[in-house]
Amino acid sequence: MHEFKVWAPRANKIAIKIGNEATAMQGPSESGWWKASIDSADDGTDYAFLLDDDNTLYPDPRSLWQPEGVHGRSRVYDQRRFHWTDDTWQGPPFSGAILYELHIGTFTAEGTFDSAIARLDHLHALGVTHIEIMPVNAFPGAQGWGYDGVALYAVQQSYGGPDALKRFVDACHHRGLAVILDVVYNHFGPTGNYTGKFGPYLTDRHKTPWGDAVNFDEGGSDEVRRFFCDNALMWMRDYHIDGLRLDAIHEFMDRSAVHFLEQLSSEVETLSATLQRKLILIAESDLNDPKIVRPREAGGYGIDAQWSDDFHHALFTLMHMEPNGAGYYSDFGSFEKLVKALTHIFVFDGGYSRYRNRSHGRPVDGLSAHHFISFIQNHDQIGNRAKGERLEHLVGMNRARIAAALLFTAPFIPMIFQGEEFAASTPFLYFADHEDEEMARLVSAGRRREFAAFGFDGDDIADPENEATFLRSKLHWSELNEGIHAEMHIWFRSLIRLRRCSQSLNDGDKDHVEIRYDEEKKWLCMQRGLVTILCNLGETSPQFEAPEDSRLELSTVPSLAIVDGKVTLPPDSLCILSAEEPY
């Protein structure tokens, strides 16, 4: 026997159809819930809903399994049947995390959870502590980034389905790797979203880049908020996920006295206490508002960390400037901005933004830099380029190594993107698989319009609906031990090892970051406790005094040495000095 429940305040009657038999559901309750117990239904039973006099079969909005895709029938899935082997798992502390973002579909040739398990030993040896996987909730078609998901409780079937995700998480924990899952709570994808047939999941009172906003504060919003909170708790409780990355929370339109993020962080904290293991929430936000990661007790939302785009933009524009400083990059491009990011986190913390044509942000006071995640590459910053170029493709091997060194010596928590650690030759492009021809055409046309703002020619843009675009984005693991790819891999392993073993580099107090720089000559000297980072992007060779008892730890120049207590840094180079006792 299985009890079926569905929230559908918009329906006057509902039947559940299993095989050729339809059974009327009882309801609705005062809050809009319908239910039915079916003796013949059990784990593996396929079912769908009939609403009112509509003969269309609709999948369950809370379906745990969509084996035939997002338009097909739902399948009953018993969360209890999987045998876990991670009973004693606690996970590494997030304050010392090394994050690695990956996309299951392109991480391996097979593009599945099971095939990804074979590469976990590589990540462990690299020094990664937390794997952040792009969305795996069910989305239309066989390939996509996952941000247009519509069945948010189900696991994408082309990746292997729900049991495969559990095998992947279990294998990660066996190797000491925590798992962060990217989730999308700001919109549903444009095709395959049937929630509107059931209830007011969206509201036209607010608008987002994807259309009507998720209903967090209008009529019926109590159950909508419950839908998303329950989803978050499910991933952490039933799939043993260690944390969630919340996509684009600046598109959460919520005027409630208790913001959705505050409710979510409170419920996750309670689950964490219940499970006796630390659970993490990470926000993607372009608001530059520290309230997001400030504790609830101090008037914040209680989110553990957020992505820090300002660091990326400041560093990227020193390495490579787009034509005419296009888009948001027009606000950056100087050492002053990079230094501001390293010492104050937000470059725009209340000052005027030329790109936005207004003041933006708020200062970060009294918060550790460990609440902020930095990167020089991620899925957006690569995949939202017309050709999907990685940093090394744009600026060359040497500058990519310099950027990596600045990333791992910055006070924030560092994150790298799949393949970055061996300078992967493959691009990472935007791809999708919409069965509807008109939707596919609109997506392709939309990408061309978006790139026009950055000065890209239409002929440069890969068609996201072409399967070849997806296949081109898959990593070639055969490169790992070849030529420059092997050199970059060694460089990343060395940087991560240095950071993991250095108390100075794990100090999250941004007030302990001391920087001298010369804008004209393009050099920078950053002091992090007993570690000194010297960077020269200029054309001269400045000389620096080496701190007492310092030794040369790493350098992009093999022949570099400390001579008579001084270091002469050639153009386009970086070195790291340390006076810490090694251990």
HSE-CB of 413 using CA atoms within 13 angstroms: 21
Catalytic residue among 182, 284, 433, 580: 284
User: Is 384 a known ligand-binding residue?
Assistant: yes
Check if the beta carbon of residue 462 is closer than 8 Å to that of residue 432. Answer: no
Taken in order 388, 390, 391, 395, the sign of the CA dihedral is negative
- Coil/strand/helix, residue 472: helix
- Is residue 305 exposed (0-12), middle (13-18) or buried (19+ Cβ within 10 Å)? buried
User: Is 143 a known ligand-binding residue?
Assistant: no
User: Is 247 a known ligand-binding residue?
Assistant: yes
User: Is 309 a known ligand-binding residue?
Assistant: yes
Tokens of 342: 């390293």
User: Is 383 a known ligand-binding residue?
Assistant: yes
Q: Which residue reads 């010392």 in tokens?
A: 96
CA distances, 142 to each of 103, 138, 156, 160, 353 (Å): 14, 10, 8, 11, 40
B/e letters for 52-91, b = 16+ CB within 10 Å, e = fewer, are eeeeebbbbbbbbbbbebbbbbbbbbeeeebeeeeeebeb
Check if the beta carbon of residue 216 is closer than 8 Å to that of residue 208. Answer: no
Check if the beta carbon of residue 364 is closer than 8 Å to that of residue 346. Answer: yes
- Coil/strand/helix, residue 8: coil
Catalytic residue among 60, 148, 217, 247: 247
DSSP 494: H
**Which backbone phi and psi does 96 adopt, to 5 degrees?**
-110, 25
Tokens of 294: 């400030």
Q: From CA 60, how far away is CA 39, in angstroms rounded?
A: 19
User: Is 379 a known ligand-binding residue?
Assistant: yes
284 tagged catalytic: yes
User: Is 248 a known ligand-binding residue?
Assistant: yes
437 tagged catalytic: no
Q: From CA 336, how far away is CA 517, in angstroms rounded?
A: 8
User: Is 250 a known ligand-binding residue?
Assistant: yes
User: Is 288 a known ligand-binding residue?
Assistant: no
Query: What amino acid occupies position 253?
Result: M
Q: From CA 404, how far away is CA 104, in angstroms rounded?
A: 23
The H-or-E segment that residue 575 falls in is: strand 573-578
Count of Cβ atoms closer than 10 Å to residue 138 Cβ: 29
When computed from its CA atoms, the radius of gyration of the chain, rounded to whole angstroms, is 25
Residues contacting 396, CB < 8 A, separation 6+: none
Check if the beta carbon of residue 393 is closer than 8 Å to that of residue 381. Answer: no
User: Is 381 a known ligand-binding residue?
Assistant: yes
User: Is 310 a known ligand-binding residue?
Assistant: yes
**Which backbone phi and psi does 289 adopt, to 5 degrees?**
-120, 110
Annotated binding site for substrate: 245-250, 309-313, 379-384
Catalytic residues: 247, 284
Annotated binding site: 245-250, 309-313, 379-384
